[in-house]
A = this chain, B = another copy of it.
Amino acid sequence: MNAPHAPFARATLRPLPAAMLEALRARFGERCSTTSAVREQHGRDESTYPVTPPDAVVFCESTGDVAALVALAAAHAVPVIAFGIGSSLEGHLLAVQGGVSIDLSRMNAIVAVNAEDLTVTVQAGVTREQLNREIKDTGLFFPIDPGANATLGGMAATRASGTNAVRYGTMKENVLGLTVVTAAGEIIRTGTRARKSSAGYDLTRLFVGSEGTLGVMTEITLKLYPLPEAVSAAICHFPSIDAAVRTTIQVIQIGVPIARCELLDANAIRGVNRHSQLSLRESPMLLMEFHGSPAGVQEQAQTVQDIAREVGGESFEWTSTPEERTRLWTARHQAYFAALQMRPGCRSLSTDTCVPISKLAENINQSVIEAEAAGLPYWIIGHVGDGNFHLSYLLDPNDPVETATAERLSGQMVHRAIRLGGTCTGEHGIGLHKIGYLLEETGAGAVEQMRLIKRALDPKNIMNPGKIFSM
């Protein structure tokens, strides 16, 4: 069931020395677990890979805990894998070489809210929904929304983005600084709370997106934004995916500062309708949101409406109340689980290509043709304002032919995206699954620069080994 591009062999397993386990138990007591239930829970994510558990799980409660754990791991050359909430999609969390899972979910404190500076510092185990709940009274919010209620540590590690990225950027743009435990078990700080800096190498951006392979992020300083004075959401149905995408392309090209611009295909809407008791028309739809002043929001929406109408967009509908807006976005956020329910017992293989905006129609249209021809059940959602979309196949995990077909189609999509000047992954990361695609995308020379960095910062290859590239 492995992806064709990322075979992994338990042959490379590095056993956990008894002395290490003893030291872990001495340091962490009950917080070090080796029960199979806990280990199995930490050896999986939302990918289609089989569960690949670590040898032990340690529940850390402070940066000091993590530093002590990594120092021990370094001394014994044992792999460590940072674990937030398990919502990654490319096999990031699988203990392919064994080792210890560092569970950060108890590190869920908001360390400091600096509302007057529009910054917040959180521990890595804080989830995005928790963050927005806890800062609600400040009048500020954190916009990055990958769909899942992921931890901010996990989101930073995969350079996540999601529905608001078209306006507010990705984790790359919104992390100001980090506390990191290095592969030697030392604690460093990167960045500052200033909004920009030219002070040396951008270690912050190096750790963001490194998928736990260079160090463990334990605290994260983020940008916040004032809650917009006015928020308005709208849905618009289109006669075809192509028409929806062409509308999006024009909106981006003329520079409308749209906050969210999500595509759902008819299949996705079918799932959402059933799961969330909605009765949306089951034709391609854009779900949009506008942020700004009341007049600004109206102006943006009018512009988009005019564009949509030109390409056959029908029934531009406004959500008139916050409740209705929340209901729509909640449905959108549950689209993943809604889709899974369309085929009981299935697993979802999600693609994640991202291309320059002018190539988006070609990329999506061709992908749909291929999916239809293959006859596998699939659904599409897309952060189309970024040129990013997810065509996900719903697979019978017991049917190797389905998986092989989906992987073949996924590969075709990646080759096309790269040919169109884009990337194999807009926001999910490489993990195990896209190791070969990274090489195809960026070339052996660039991957070799990554390997040199990895070897320099993690000479014993203990930080989430086997991910991003083979060593």
On A, residues with C-beta under 8 Å from B are: 114, 116-119, 158-161, 165, 169-170, 172-173, 182, 186-190, 192-203, 205-206, 208-210, 214, 225-226, 228, 249, 252-255, 292-293, 295-296, 299, 352, 354-359, 386-388, 417-418, 421-430, 434, 437-438, 441-443, 445-447, 449-450, 452-453, 455-457, 468-469
Contact = CB atoms under 8 A, between A and B. Distances in A.
A358 B468 CA distance: 40
B189 A446 contact: yes
Given A116-B358, A449-B457, A450-B201, A388 B421 contact: no
A127 B22 CA distance: 61
Contact of A386 (B196, B225, B357, B445): B196
A59 to B, nearest CB: 25
Q: How many of these chains are in the complex?
A: 2
A165 B201 contact: no
Which 9 A/B pairs are nearest by Cβ-Cβ distance?
A: A456-B456, A205-B205, A226-B255, A117-B356, A116-B358, A197-B423, A188-B445, A193-B421, A194-B422
Given A173-B169, A189-B446, A387 B426 contact: no
A198 B357 contact: no
Contact of A205 (B114, B172, B187): B172
A92 to B, nearest CB: 11
B203 A118 contact: no
A430 B469 contact: no
A358 B114 contact: yes
A159 B202 contact: yes
B199 A441 contact: yes
Nearest to A225: B255
Contacts of A457: 449, 452-453
A358 B118 CA distance: 9
Given A194-B354, A295-B295, A452-B457, 10 more contacts: A117-B357, A189-B442, A189-B446, A192-B418, A195-B357, A199-B442, A201-B210, A201-B453, A206-B453, A296-B296
17 contacts: A114-B356, A118-B357, A159-B196, A189-B443, A190-B446, A194-B386, A194-B417, A196-B388, A198-B426, A199-B423, A199-B424, A199-B429, A200-B438, A202-B202, A203-B450, A226-B253, A453-B457
Contact of A299 (B192, B226, B253, B293): B293
B426 A197 contact: yes
A199 B430 contact: yes
A423 B438 CA distance: 34
A194 B449 contact: no
Nearest to A158: B198
Contact of A206 (B170, B205, B421, B468): B205
B198 A209 contact: yes
Contacts of A198: 158-160, 209, 352, 423, 425-430
A430 B200 contact: yes
A159 B119 CA distance: 21
A421 to B, nearest CB: 4
A196 B427 contact: yes
Nearest to A445: B188
Contacts of A192: 418, 421-423, 441
Interface centre among A160, A194, A198, A430 (most CB of B within 10 A): A198
A36 to B, nearest CB: 32
